[in-house]
Each structure stands twice: as structure tokens, then as C-alpha cells.
Structure 1
């Protein structure tokens, strides 16, 4: 049995994708491989593999105890450039933090990225592509799955929407990077369409643009609802109740929210980003800007039969990024790490 120490503080802050990805992985490994992996959480005991999900300073210091850590793996959920528009730090602190993140990744024996486009970016900061592995995110169908039509209609009624309403759902932290400005503008310009944003201020007042967004959050347009940070099963109900899931982000890796939408069979609309080309091309309705989004939403609002085309695409994507497929990748990866570590030890002896 391979002993793996998982290091993470991601689940301490609700409403962020890193935490969701971490919890999904832990649950999957324990459920599917109970006899293969002995998993400990934030334990500094000796392990075969130490897998770091967040870049906490105490975790960084632990990497200096090489004999205890075994193979060290860093999960790359972000680079300094992807934090722009997320949190607002005093400029000198931001520079120090950016240096620290890069230093943390460079201390790892191996890195895992959720989007292959990040491999070249890591090369750009001096990390060899040979130590980087791409393993996509996934979402368990236990919580996020498509409900039958009768249940969907019941959920809509429970949320205050009837069959004729056209409901557009967005999800994630309320921050500039997520394209929240465009989402608000769409609500203001399309009063006949209902907009719901599921998420809140996970990082409180250090959220970039907090004061401005808090004013809208407290006094939104009549057709825009902010749910705040909600439990995952409630979010799953919203995906099923919505006609379209819209994520207008400017910068992403592989958002868990997109996978959640796919799993629920919800048509997905996104801003056209180059990084999506490598992972979910052809599975979503792409738009260039807020004008294009408005045009596409109004077309779907008038021609709702077209929604079924994108429901099918979401189902196809959900099958491709299924828990079963990704679980096999993680099992093979951890076993390879242990074999490579054993090989190094035998060569030294």
C-alpha cells in the first residue's frame, strides 16, 4: 500500500474551485482504491508521496525534510498571472508572493497541471516539462448529475421560476477575473431573462474590486440574484434548474464549475479562451465578448429547441471527463512515482 500525505488548506475557504477539486480527489481515491493508497491529511509523518494542493508556508518548510516526504508533488491550480483580478495585495507584497509561488513549485519533484497549456508557462519560469504531468479535473456524479425533466421542473418551481422563464446561471467567486462585470451588464440589458450568480466573496475584502462589487451584491438588478456561498448539493439543484450555465471568465485553468455544469447536462456558454481549446473544444457555446454573449442568450431564449444541442454536448463532455477515466490516470501516476523512487534508491545502493 502506498502511503500518501495530502497537504491542503483549500477546504478552509468555501466557494473556491481549488477546494472542490481537492475534496473530489480525496473522496475518489478513498472510494475507489481503499486497498492501494493509505491517505493522511496534513500529516508530517513519513510517507512515500507528499502531495501539496496549496502553497502554505508551513507546507513549504516541510519540503526540507526530504527523507520523510518521499516524492513531492505540487498541484498547479494557478500561476501568479492567473491571480490578476482575483485578489488585491499591496504591490511589494504581491511581488514577494509571486516569487514565493514560483519557488514553491520549483521545490517539488513533480508537478501536476489541470490544463496542458500550463506546461509551456511553467517552462517559461524555469521548470522542465519532464517533471510536469497533465491530469484533468473531474466531478463526481454522486452530487452533480442530470435530473429527470420532472425533477428539473420541480426545482425551478421551488426556486421561484416557471416553465416559461429563461434562467442563466453563473458560478464562482465574485471577482473581476470571473467576468462578473459582464454578467451584471447582461442582466441590466436583458430584463426578460433571469440571472443567478452562485458564489460570494471567499477572500473577503482583499477581493479585487470588493467595495464596488459589494454595492451591486447588496442592490442587484431585479432580474439578478446573488446566492452567496452555498452548499454543493444546492448548487447542483441550480445547475439542473438553469437553462444555460454561463461563465464569462477572462482567465481560467480548468474550472470545476464547467465540469459541474457538464455533469448536470446543462448547456454551457463560455468566453472564447485559448486554454479551453486543449481541453473542452466543441463541448460548449463560445462567445467573444459581452455583446456576443447577449446575442447568443437572446437567440437561445427565442429558439429554445437549440438548447438540446448543447445539452448533448455537455453529456458527451461529462462522459469523457468521468470519474472512472480520471481515477485510472491518478492510480497510474502515483504508482509510477513510487516505482521511480524505488529505482533511484536501488541505483544509490
Structure 2
């Protein structure tokens, strides 16, 4: 039996994808492989494999002992992907960026959720053979399509017009997520209900906090901000929506997109190159706010296009299934153990 210790503080801050990905993996491994591996959380005793999900300083210090076995780092972000997320003073940003890369270099192996990050890590001096791509996934038991009557009931329960077209956005409220464009679309399309689930997880240091806070506190009549919603209730929001929209300017492999796929909700995203490597052919892309408006109107007027996107969501959910990813993770951990 493999002795694997997971290190993470991701669940301390609600409403962020890193925490969701971490919880999904722990649940999957413990449920699927109770005899093949023993999972412990934030335990500094001796282990075969130490898997670091967050870059806490106490975790960094723990890498200097031989007790950690094979050290695996989960790469959820790089210095360039933090732009538009947190507003840090120049010196603080420089120090953190150097620390982040130093943390990754302390690892024996790294796991990325998007293969587009491999050359970027190599540019920081990390050998390609130390990097493995393993995508995110979500549990079908948590995110799944509900019946049409249930979807209508949920809309009424949350105070939404059952007959209105609903566009859903999910994520932290910050510049990088393109929330400003989401708000602008609501202004341009008063007949459409826009709902953004998420909040200011990092408070005032969130990039664009002051301006976005004003708009969130004084929303348009057709724009709703329910705040940070507990994960077990998120499936209701995906089922209420006609369309999931993620207007982010920079992402890795958002859990929200996988959640939408699993709920069989059609997906529209800003056309980012990094999506091409992981979810090509499963979504509709738009270049900017103007193009998003055109695409949403087109989908409103053509139900057959919505049905096509829904079928693509189903296909994506099948490809990123728990069963397939569970096998990949088991083989990965076993190969590390044999390598040591």
C-alpha cells in the first residue's frame, strides 16, 4: 500500500478552484483505492509520496527532510497567471514570484492541469522530464443534469423568471475573470438574466476590488450576485442556467467549466489558446465582449445550436470522467514509487 501525504491549505479560502480540485482528488482516491493507498492530510511523518497542492511556507520548509519521499508539486498557477488576480506592491510581487518558482524547483515531480504550462515551466529552468500533465475532473455524483421540471422549480425558488434566458458565470470576482465584461453584457442585454456566483475571496487585495465592489453592491435589475455558494449547492445554479459563460482573460483548466460540462450546460468562453489543448471542440468561443453578445443572441434564437453545445458538454463530461482519471492517478503514483 502506498503511503501518500497530501499538503494543502486550499480549503481555508472559499470560492476558489484550487480547493475544489483538491477536494475532488482526495474524494476520488479514498473512494476508489482504499486498499492501494493510504491518504493522510498535512501529516509531516514519513511518507512514500508527498503531494503539495498549495505553496505554504511551512510546506516549503518540510521539503528539506528525507521523510517526504518523492515530492510532487501541483502547478495551479505561475507568476504570469496571477496578473489580474491579486494586487500586490511591486516588491511583494517580486518576492512571491521568486518564492513560487523556488517552491516548484524543490519538487521531484510537477503535475500541470494544462499542457500549455509545460514550456512555461521549462523557461523557468525546470526539466521537461519532471513535468506530467493530468487534467482536472469533477464527480458526476455532485454535478449532473436535473429534469426540466426541477430546473423550472429551481428558477422560481431562486426568484428568477422561468421564461428568461439565463447566463451563468462562476469564479472569484476579479479583473482576470472578465467580470467587467459580464456586467457590460448585462447592461446591453436587459432581457437576459445574468448570474455570477462567486465573491471577493481575497478581499481588498483582489485586483480591481474598489471598482468591481461598487458594481456588485449596486447591480443592474437583470444582474444577480449571490456571492460564494457552498459547493454542494452549485449544481442547482448550473441546472438553472441556459448557458455557462466564462469571460476570463487567463486560466489554467477551470473547475467551473468541468462542472458545467458535467451538468450538461452549454459552455461559451473567451477564445484563449490554452483551452485548445484541453477542451477543443467542446465549447463555443468568442473574441471579446461584442462577440459574446452576438454569440449569446444567436444561441437564444437557434435552439438547435444550444442542443449541439449541450451534446458537446456531454461528450466532454464523458472524456474527463472520474473512472479514467482515477486510473491515471493510480498509475502515476505507482510509477513514482517504483522510480524511488
SS at the partner of 2:19?
helix
Which stretch of structure 1 is more off in the superposition, 138-147 or 242-251?
138-147
**Per-residue deviation, 1:259:** 0.1
Q: Deviations over 1:285-305 (max 9, x none)?
A: 110000000011111122233
Matches within 5 A, 1:82-231: 82-231=81-230
d(CA) in 2 for partners of 1:42, 1:117: 29
Does the alignment pair 1:276 with 2:275?
yes
SS at the partner of 2:265?
coil
SS at the partner of 2:15?
coil
**Per-residue deviation, 1:162:** 3.7
d(CA) in 2 for partners of 1:302, 1:156: 21
Question: Which residue in 1 is equivalent to 2:63?
Answer: 63
SS at the partner of 2:244?
strand
Does the alignment pair 1:242 with 2:241?
yes
Question: Which residue in 2 is equivalent to 1:297?
Answer: 296
d(CA) in 2 for partners of 1:105, 1:243: 40
Question: Which residue in 1 is equivalent to 2:78?
Answer: 79
Aligned pair count reads 340
**Per-residue deviation, 1:163:** 3.7
TM-score computed with the length of structure 1 as normaliser: 0.96
d(CA) in 1 for partners of 2:223, 2:271: 24
**Per-residue deviation, 1:142:** 1.3
Question: Which residue in 1 is equivalent to 2:14?
Answer: 14
**Per-residue deviation, 1:160:** 2.3
Question: Which residue in 1 is equivalent to 2:31?
Answer: 31
SS at the partner of 1:74?
strand
Matches within 5 A, 1:256-335: 256-335=255-334
SS at the partner of 2:269?
strand
Runs of 4+ in 1 over 6 A off after TM superposition: none
d(CA) in 2 for partners of 1:309, 1:301: 13
d(CA) in 1 for partners of 2:63, 2:17: 25
**Per-residue deviation, 1:161:** 2.7
SS at the partner of 1:205?
helix
**Per-residue deviation, 1:135:** 0.3
**Per-residue deviation, 1:306:** 2.1
Unmatched tracts of structure 2, length 5 or more: none
**Per-residue deviation, 1:89:** 0.5
Which stretch of structure 1 is more off in the superposition, 227-236 or 256-265?
227-236
Q: Deviations over 1:136-180 (max 9, x none)?
A: 000001111111222222212222234421000000000000011
TM-score computed with the length of structure 2 as normaliser: 0.99
d(CA) in 2 for partners of 1:163, 1:152: 9
Question: Which residue in 2 is equivalent to 1:44?
Answer: 44
SS at the partner of 1:144?
coil
The root-mean-square deviation of aligned C-alpha atoms, in Å, is 0.8
Question: Which residue in 1 is equivalent to 2:254?
Answer: 255
Unmatched tracts of structure 1, length 5 or more: 342-349
Q: Deviations over 1:16-51 (max 9, x none)?
A: 000000000000000000111111100100000000
